[in-house]
Structures are given as structure tokens and as C-alpha cells.
Amino acid sequence: MKGALENIRVTAREQLAAANDLARLEELRVSLLGKKGELTAILKQMGKLSAEERPVIGQLANQVRAEIEQELADRMAELKDAAMNAKLEEERIDVTMPGFKSMIGKTHPISLVLDEMKDIFIGMGFSIVAGPEVELDEYNFEKLNLPKDHPARDTQDTFYITNNILLRTQTSPVQVRTMEKQAPPIRIISPGRVFRSDAVDATHSPLFHQMEGLVVDKGVTMADLKGTLELFVKKLYGEDSVVRFRPHHFPFTEPSAELDVMCFNCHGKGCRLCKGEGWIEILGCGMVHPKVLRGCGIDPDVYSGFAFGMGVERIVMRKYNIDDLRLLFENDLRFLDQF
């Protein structure tokens, strides 16, 4: 038995020295020191020894076990150090190598102009109000004085989800919701996305952005509307901007008008962008219809107001001399990098 223990000591030393990974080391630990290991098998036979031999063999067995455990721990530490050094070598970074240039994003021209528009109106005392893009027919049409047979309610112009739910065709519903919740004086703008069933061309898109404004107070007149919008255009485009107001009709305003800016592309001569007219219509406006005020709980005999709505994309095109609306939605980096 003494010879067997010495043989285990020698064999274990050789096997542990030859182990080249942690998995193999675990196998050796089990085979040498486990419940069914070689050393345990020998210790189970100690009951057959005489009283004189038992302490001698027991002492030798404990010594062999201690040596194997120590060699096992030393070898495990060596393998772990080697594995760590190999990993560090593999993942080493050469800090002297040139880095990769990161792509830096830029603000989209629509966002640039929208932020500028907001700043202009905030400077005139307006607050910003938002509303849902999925809207009720009641707020998108009925409360804005659009009768059931109005062409704007036709399915060829509007994306209906159900008979009473649709994608808003304008941000005007935000004005109605505000008037229902807030008593005059009111001075708000409501920027956001709107949806209409339009064919895509140089000046139209089924998805575009609008900014609408509303002022309701005592003594508000058409002169206040005209002055506000002229100031806005000159702040946005410059003091030399040329504008004109044309009589128009909107169901929710009376009287109504459209505001045009002289075409930047042809300077009033007529071209493809302005469809030969020399002017680009950028917004509709007017005095809030008494029926709309009354429907929102505001007495039209006491209060009056004006409203306006503009397509943000047309403002962007006028500001940056862009002659095709589609460029704003195609995500062409050659175009976007210019901003």
C-alpha cells in the first residue's frame, strides 16, 4: 500500500505538469482526489492494516493528498495566468494607431426651420400646444364648421381608419381642443405632422408638417392678423420679403385669406415651382368663424380671434431655395449634408 501511495504521488506530479487547460486539471482532480479517485480507493483498504501499520500509512496518505492538492492549486494558478496573458495579448490595443472618424449627424432642414418658426412666435408671446395625430371626425371637421358634404371630407383626400376616426388632415383640431379647455385670452401655435391623400410631386406629399396659430381675445381684428403674419415672414425670410394677401374661403374662418410669398426661383416671372404664377402660397388665414367660437363655448359677441395654418415644407423650400419637396423625404445624404 505504501508503494501504491508513492506511485500515485509520482504519477499525479507528472499528469498535473502535463495538463494544459483547466478542463483537464478538473478531470485529474476528480480521478485523484474524488470519491471514486485513486487515493480514496487506497484509503478504503486501511481497515485491513495492522494497528502498527495504520498510522504510518495514514500519515503518508495525508502527506500525498496535501502534496497533490498543493500542486493542483499551483498548476491552476499557472494556467489561469497563462490564459489571462493570452487574452490580454489578443485584445491589446495599439493606442498609437489612428482612430476611426465618427459620422456626425446634422439637424434636418425641416427641424431647423420648425425650430426657427417656433422661436419667432414664442417671441411674439405664443405658446406651443400639441394634439393627437389620430383624430376624431368631430374635431377634424365638424367643430371646424365643415359640413358632411364638404369635399375636404371625401375619402379621396382623407385617410379614414373608421367612419369616425382618421389621420388628421390639419393641425386645426388642436385649436378646437384648446378653446374647449382654455378661456380667452388664447395665443397658441400647434406644429405637427398631418396626412392627406395627395399624389407625390414637386410640391405635394401625403405626409407633411403644418404649423397653425390661434389668437382669441377681446378686440382682435384682421389688422392684428395681417401684422402678425407680415412680421413672421420678414423675421423668417428677411426684411425685403414680398408678400401678398388674397381673399379666399375657409369654412372655419370669415373673412378668410391666403398669404403668398414671391417665388424665390423666378422672382415673380413664373416657373415650374410656382406653376407659372410667380408666387408661392404658404398659408391660409382668417378671422375665426363665430360658429366655431360658439361651438367651443366662447361668446363671439364678446371675443374675436384669428387663425392661420401653414405648410412647413413650403416654408423650408422658400428659405433654402429648394425646388422639389421630395428632397426633404428621400434621406439622400448628399442633400442633407448641405445643412
Rounded alpha-carbon distances, angstroms, from residue 96 to 92, 93, 99: 12, 9, 9
Residues 320, 283 within the same domain: yes
Question: Do 308 and 282 meet the contact criterion of CB atoms below 8 Å apart?
Answer: no
Residue 192 and residue 226: Cα distance in Å, rounded? 23
Residue 50 is predicted with a pLDDT of 67
CATH code, domain carrying 327? 3.30.930.10
Percent of the chain with pLDDT over 90: 42
Confidence band, pLDDT 50/70/90 cuts, at residue 40: low
Q: Which domain holds residue 193?
A: 109-336
Confidence band, pLDDT 50/70/90 cuts, at residue 281: confident
Residue, of 18 and 311, whose pLDDT is higher: 311
- Does the residue 260 lie in any domain? yes
Q: How many domains does one find in the chain?
A: 2
Write down the mean pLDDT value for the chain. 86
Confidence band, pLDDT 50/70/90 cuts, at residue 81: confident
- Does the residue 194 lie in any domain? yes
Residue, of 140 and 65, whose pLDDT is higher: 140
Confidence band, pLDDT 50/70/90 cuts, at residue 46: low
- Does the residue 102 lie in any domain? no
Residues 253, 162 within the same domain: yes
- 140, amino acid identity: N
Residues 251, 282 within the same domain: yes
Rounded alpha-carbon distances, angstroms, from residue 53 to 1, 9, 43, 56, 127: 10, 19, 13, 5, 100
Which of 34, 60, 90 lies at the terminal end of a domain, its last residue? 90
Residue 54 is predicted with a pLDDT of 67
Residue 29 and residue 69: Cα distance in Å, rounded? 8
Helix axes 222-237, 109-123, angle to 10 degrees: 130
Residues 127, 64 within the same domain: no
What is the DSSP code (8-state) at residue 163? S
CB atoms within 10 A of CB 15: 18
- Does the residue 211 lie in any domain? yes
Residue 335 and residue 315: Cα distance in Å, rounded? 17
- Distance from first CA to last CA of the chain, Å, rounded? 88
- Does the residue 99 lie in any domain? no
Give yes or no for residue 199 having a pLDDT over 80: yes
List, for residues 146-170, the tens digit of each pLDDT value.
877 777 677 668 899 998 999 999 9
- Does the residue 104 lie in any domain? no
Strands 165-167 and 243-250: unpaired
| Closest residue by Cα to residue 177 from 167, 185, 188 | 188
Give yes or no for residue 317 having a pLDDT over 90: no
Question: Do 237 and 261 meet the contact criterion of CB atoms below 8 Å apart?
Answer: yes
Confidence band, pLDDT 50/70/90 cuts, at residue 24: confident
Residue, of 79 and 126, whose pLDDT is higher: 126
Residues 269, 239 within the same domain: yes
Percent of the chain with pLDDT over 70: 91
Residues 295, 183 within the same domain: yes
